[in-house]
């Protein structure tokens, strides 16, 4: 799981965030831990009980009729093709940036060579090969990140010396080294402050997106675990490693880049080139080779997962479900291999036209903004129907695309070159950042799907009963069903989720404090995190199976 989310683009995007706004800007993805922990304590066991090959298969377990079939097919095509193309595009974009800066070669040669390697083992070995290679690739990628952070600290003679230098750098801002943004002053427009951005991240973005009940390839890994307990513990470990452990070496290098390369305005790659520039500046031939290998490992681990995950959608939720439901397994195998190659080609073409990696991240979030509450409530509230999910997804997509079209039109009218995800939308002369888009997209989506839910018929009682009996989710279902089939009370999930929040953020900022600010505070936070994690795991082990 961690290897998949650790791609060649990730340290570049982290560098972009730190250089532009400061360490606190990582709350853009730190906030997603709140949703990730829902996946741990609310949904990991439920996904195992559902016994599905893909998360889209759940749609026809929970909903019925033509709307459910249409929704399943559409989501499979959307995530396998459009979503996957954008994700693989920014991964290829990040790897090509590293290769071009460090090796002084064209942006395509190293990238497409490694894409071919990942394509070969993904098509020949399937999920098993992806998981095995991910394990080794993550170890190599994390080792390379730690090595470069050590080289950066050695360049300045230690961490205190680096902090002294960065405070004098031209790009230094009051919040550059802060884990949280400063409070706004009375003279500022509140909606343009860093603090408003932070509130939007932790108040809206983590629960509103399509990852609210786990996320596609995370769900795939939950479903492939040995049993419910393994699914819970594996997903909890993923969140610890993903948020608390891997980020700090990247942040150290990003901070060092502010001193070593104060301005990158003239660089065609922009701020994201800061990371590979530090690599090239500090690493000798041997170390640079190791770092390049670590980047290629991170790149291939992500590409292979997205190829395999997307192929599973196209095969199980499109071809097997709608086109050839009774074909041979051999035919299904070759169709999945063809689908894998198609996605690799689409991702490469998308990378060619992509501008900012961070902007691509934001676009992907916006496309699914507002659907999160539906994905959560479909497990716990009987009234949610296929039309609820269709309305939520459609409204988010329409509003996001309209905003992106407005951005492209205004860019072209200004006589500027247009690149995909290269510039934020501008409404009446004001840049519309992702936190502002959240205030538009999420309320529109929620109002739309609530209205549609109440105006359409609920799912048939037989379908709802069969789903509840299979999954035992608890929540807002007819009392007679809960007395018959049980289900863990929601308050138990909520308490465990709160303990998980203390674990993840205590560990994340405990480690960060020991590195950046206060060693004593860091130790206290890490101890608190460990205690909360121990209690959460002990309580979760007492769930009824």
Residue-wise pLDDT tens for the chain (545 aa)? 888 888 877 898 899 999 999 999 999 899 999 999 998 988 888 898 898 989 999 999 999 999 999 999 999 998 898 888 888 887 887 787 777 777 777 666 766 776 777 788 888 888 888 888 888 888 998 999 999 999 999 999 988 899 999 999 988 988 999 999 998 877 777 888 889 999 999 999 889 887 788 878 888 888 888 888 888 899 999 999 999 989 999 999 999 999 999 988 777 778 888 999 999 999 988 898 999 888 888 888 888 888 989 999 999 999 999 999 999 999 999 999 999 888 888 887 777 666 555 566 677 778 888 899 999 999 999 999 999 999 999 999 899 888 878 777 776 676 665 555 555 555 555 566 778 888 889 999 999 999 999 999 999 999 999 999 898 887 888 876 766 655 667 788 889 999 999 999 999 999 999 998 789 999 999 999 999 999 998 887 776 54
Question: Cα separations (Å) of 22 from 90, 222, 454, 502?
Answer: 22, 34, 44, 23
Task: Count the Cβ atoms, other than its own, within 10 Å of residue 104.
Answer: 8
Residue where the block lists tokens 């080289």 = 151
* Options 3.80.10.10, 3.10.180.10, 1.10.10.10, 1.20.1730.10; CATH of 1-197+213-352: 1.20.1730.10
Residue where the block lists tokens 């909606």 = 191
State the Cα–Cα distance between residues 284 and 292, nearest whole angstrom: 12
Q: How many Cα neighbours within 13 Å face the side chain of 474?
A: 15
Residues 6 or more apart in contact with residue 428 via CB below 8 angstroms: none
CA nearest neighbour of 419 among 236, 270, 306, 537: 270
Distance, C-alpha 393 to centroid of its chain: 18
Tell me how many helices (H) and strands (E) the chain has. Answer: 26, 2
Strand intervals (E) in 45-196: none
State the Cα–Cα distance between residues 255 and 250, nearest whole angstrom: 9
Q: What is the pLDDT of residue 544?
A: 53
What residue spans define the domains of the chain? 1-197+213-352, 355-456, 488-545
Q: What is the pLDDT of residue 359?
A: 66
Q: What is the pLDDT of residue 240?
A: 94
In 3-state terms, what secondary structure has residue 431?
Answer: strand
* Model confidence, pTM: 0.87
Judge whether 26 and 14 are in contact, CB under 8 Å. yes
Residues 6 or more apart in contact with residue 226 via CB below 8 angstroms: none
Backbone Cα Rg of the chain: 23
**At what angle are helices 228-239 and 490-516 packed, to 10 degrees?**
30
In degrees to the nearest 10, what's the CA dihedral of 336, 342, 347, 352? 170
């Amino acid at each position: 799981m961690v290897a998949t989310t650790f791609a060649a683009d990730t340290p570049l995007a982290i560098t972009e965030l730190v250089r532009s706004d400061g360490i606190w800007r990582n709350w853009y993805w730190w906030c997603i831990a709140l949703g990730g922990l829902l996946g741990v304590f609310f949904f990991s066991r439920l996904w195992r009980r559902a016994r599905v090959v893909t998360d889209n298969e759940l749609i026809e377990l929970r909903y019925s009729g033509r709307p459910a079939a249409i929704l399943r097919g559409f989501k499979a095509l959307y995530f396998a093709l459009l979503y996957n193309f954008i994700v693989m595009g920014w991964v290829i974009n990040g790897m090509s940036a590293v290769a071009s800066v460090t090796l002084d070669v064209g942006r395509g040669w190293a990238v497409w060579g490694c894409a071919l390697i990942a394509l070969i083992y993904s098509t020949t070995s399937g999920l098993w090969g992806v998981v095995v290679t991910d394990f080794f690739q993550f170890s190599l990628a994390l080792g390379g990140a730690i090595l470069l952070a050590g080289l950066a600290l050695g360049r300045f003679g230690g961490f205190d010396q680096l902090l002294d230098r960065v405070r004098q750098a031209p790009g230094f801002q009051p919040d550059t080294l802060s884990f949280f943004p400063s409070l706004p002053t009375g003279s500022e427009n509140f909606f343009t402050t860093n603090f408003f951005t932070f509130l939007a991240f932790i108040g809206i973005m983590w629960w509103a997106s399509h990852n609210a009940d786990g996320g596609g390839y995370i769900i795939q890994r939950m479903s492939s675990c040995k049993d419910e307990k393994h699914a819970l513990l594996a997903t909890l470990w993923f969140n610890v490693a993903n948020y608390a452990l891997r980020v700090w070496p990247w942040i150290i290098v990003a901070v060092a880049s502010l001193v070593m390369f104060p301005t990158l305005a003239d660089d065609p790659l922009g701020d994201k080139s800061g990371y590979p520039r530090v690599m090239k500046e500090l690493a000798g031939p041997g170390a640079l080779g190791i770092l390049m290998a670590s980047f290629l490992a991170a790149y291939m681990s992500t590409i292979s997962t997205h190829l395999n995950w997307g192929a599973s959608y196209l095969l199980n939720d499109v071809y097997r479900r709608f086109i050839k439901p009774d074909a041979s397994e051999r035919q299904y195998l070759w169709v999945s291999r063809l689908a894998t190659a198609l996605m690799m080609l689409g991702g490469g073409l998308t990378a060619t036209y992509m501008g900012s990696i961070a902007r691509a991240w934001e676009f992907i979030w916006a496309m699914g903004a507002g659907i999160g509450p539906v994905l959560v409530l479909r497990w716990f509230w009987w009234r949610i129907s296929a039309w609820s999910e269709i309305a939520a997804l459609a409204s988010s997509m329409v509003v996001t695309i309209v905003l992106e079209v407005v951005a492209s039109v205004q860019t072209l009218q200004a006589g500027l070159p247009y690149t995909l995800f290269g510039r934020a939308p501008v409404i009446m002369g004001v840049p519309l950042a992702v936190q502002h888009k959240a205030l538009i997209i999420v309320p529109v989506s929620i109002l739309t799907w609530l209205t549609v839910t109440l105006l359409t018929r609920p799912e048939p009682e037989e379908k709802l009963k069969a789903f509840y009996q299979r999954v035992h989710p608890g929540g807002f279902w007819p009392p007679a069903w809960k007395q018959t089939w049980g289900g863990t009370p929601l308050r138990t999930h909520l308490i465990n989720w709160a303990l998980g929040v203390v674990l993840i953020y205590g560990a994340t900022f405990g480690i960060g404090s020991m590195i950046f600010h206060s060693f004593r505070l860091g130790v206290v936070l890490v101890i608190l995190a460990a205690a909360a994690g121990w209690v959460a795991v002990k309580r979760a082990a007492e769930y009824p199976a």
